[in-house]
Amino acid sequence: MSNPAETGPPSLRLRERFPLLALIFERLALSILLLFAVSILIFGGLEALPGDFATTYLGQSATPQAITNIREELGINRPMTTRYAEWLGNALHGDFGTSWASKNSVSEQIANRLGNSLFLAGFAAIIAVPLAVGLGMLSVHFRNRLPDKVINVISLAAISLPEFFIGYLLIYFFAVQFGIATFPSTVYAEMGLVERLQAIALPAATLVLVVLAHMMRMTRAAILSVMSSAYMETAELKGLTAFRAIVKHAAPNALAPIINVVALNLAYLVVGVVVVEVVFVYPGMGQYMVDAVTVRDMPVVQACGLIFAAVYIFLNMVADILAIVANPRLRHPR
C-alpha cells in the first residue's frame, strides 16, 4: 500500500514531510491575502465617505469650476479601480504619493514619524511584557490570596479605563500637580536618548497600563489551565516548590497562548498609539493620521491605515508561527 505522502499532490507531500515549513508558508500566504483584502477595504471605505478634499480645501464658497480643476489636478475624477491599482502598485514600491494638503512626500513624512511611534511602542513593550508575565506567575503562586486579589482588582480597574482617560489622569497628577513630567515637543527629533525617554515617560506609562492588565490576566488563565494537569501534581509530589513548578513546568507549557496574547497586545501598542499620541501631542504616526483626517488628506490616511494594518497582520502572523514552534501539537492539526 502506497504512502499518501509519496503519491499525493505536492502540497500534501510538503505538509507531511515538512509540517512546520508548510504551516509557515501557509500563514505567510494568508497574511498577504488578508493584507490585500484590507487594502481594498481601506481604499474603498475612504472613497465611500461623503465629500472630498476639493470641497473641504476650497470651502463652501468654492465654484464648481474650481472644484473640477482640483479634482483633475489630483486625479480624483479618474475611475476608482484605476486609482486603486496605481496606488497599490506604488505602495508596493514604498511610494505613497504626495500629501494633498502639504504637497510633501507621504513616504518621507511616514519615515520620520514611524520611528517615533515604534520607539514609543517598543519602550512600552519592554516594560509591559516581562512585567505582565511576572505578575501573572505571581498571581498564580498566590492564587485566591491577598496578592492575587490585589493584582486582579488593579487589573480590572486598568481594563475598565480607556487610554485617553488614563493619559489625562497621568497628566493631571505628574505634570500639573507635581510638575515632574515633560512632553514631546517640535524639536523631538533633535533630542538625545535620555531626553527622549523623559519625554515619552507619560505616553509609555499610559500604554503600559492599558496592555499590562490584559496580558497579565491571560497569562494567569493560561498557567492555571496547565496547573490542573497530572504532571504538575507529579512535580509537586517530587518536592518542587510551587513557584519553581510554575516557572519550570507550567509556564513553558502555557507558552503558546501567552505568545498569542503578547503578540496581540504588541500589535495593539503599535496601532493603539493613535489615541495616546493625540492626547500627548506626540509626533508619531497616529498624530499624523489624525491631522490628515481633519483635512481629508486621503493619501496620508490611506498610507497610515495600510501601514497599521500591515504591522497588525505581521505581528499576528509571527504569533501564530511562534505558537506553532512552541507547541508541536499544532503542527499536526486533526
Q: Name the pTM for this structure.
A: 0.78
CA nearest neighbour of 324 among 35, 17, 125, 26: 26
DSSP per-residue codes, 216-267:
HHHHHHHHHHHHTSHHHHHHHHTT--HHHHIIIIIHHHTHHHHHHHHHHHHH
Q: What is the pLDDT of residues 189-218, one digit of tens each?
A: 667 777 788 888 888 888 888 888 888 888
Residue 214 C-alpha cell reads as 490584559
Between residues 248 and 145, the one the model is more confident about: 145
Beta bridge partners of 98: 105
Distance in angstroms (rounded) separating the CA atoms of residues 135 and 140: 9
- According to the model, what pLDDT value does residue 184 have? 58
| Pairwise CA distance, residues 259 & 316, whole Å | 10
How confident is the model at residue 187, as a pLDDT? Answer: 47
Confidence class of residue 58 from pLDDT cuts 50, 70 and 90? low
> Which phi and psi angles does 76 have, rounded to 5°?
-70, -25
* Nearest-angstrom CA–CA distance, 279 and 274: 9
pLDDT value for 182: 63
Instruction: Tell me what pLDDT residue 327 has.
Output: 66
Smallest CA-to-CA distance from 79 within 44, 111, 31 is with 44
Under the banding of pLDDT at 50, 70 and 90, the label for residue 170 is confident
* Spatial separation of the C-alpha atoms in residues 263 and 242, rounded to whole Å: 28
Separation CA 148–CA 143 (nearest Å): 5
| Cell of residue 23, nine digits | 504551516
Beta pairing partners, 212 = none
Instruction: List, in sequence order, every residue forming a beta bridge with 105; answer none if it has no partner.
Output: 98
Rounded to an integer, the average pLDDT of 231-259 is 70
Domains within the chain, CATH numbers bracketed: 7-92 (no CATH), 113-326 (1.10.3720.10)
Largest CA distance in the chain: 85
Question: What distance lies between CA 102 and its chain's CA centroid?
Answer: 28
Neighbours of 26 (CB within 10 A): 14
Question: Do 300 and 323 contact (CB within 8 A), yes or no?
Answer: no
DSSP one-letter string for 42-76: HHHHHHHSSS-HHHHHH-TT--HHHHHHHHHHHTT
Q: What is the pLDDT of residues 33-56, one digit of tens each?
A: 999 999 999 998 888 877 666 666
**In angstroms, what CA-CA distances link 35 with 29, 77, 92, 184, 310?**
10, 26, 12, 32, 6
By C-alpha distance, which of 325, 313, 284, 299 is closest to 52? 299
| Residue 78 Cα distances to 83, 91, 163, 165, 302, angstroms | 7, 18, 41, 43, 17
Banded pLDDT at 13 (limits 50, 70, 90)? low
When the pLDDT of each residue in the chain is averaged and rounded to a whole number, the result is 80
Which residues have CB under 8 Å from 70's CB, separation 6+?
53, 54, 57, 58, 76
Cell representation of residue 132? 505582565
Average pLDDT over residues 117-140: 87
Q: Kindly state the DSSP code that residue 284 receives in the 8-state scheme.
A: S
Q: Yes or no: say if 106 and 297 are a contact pair by the CB < 8 Å rule.
A: no
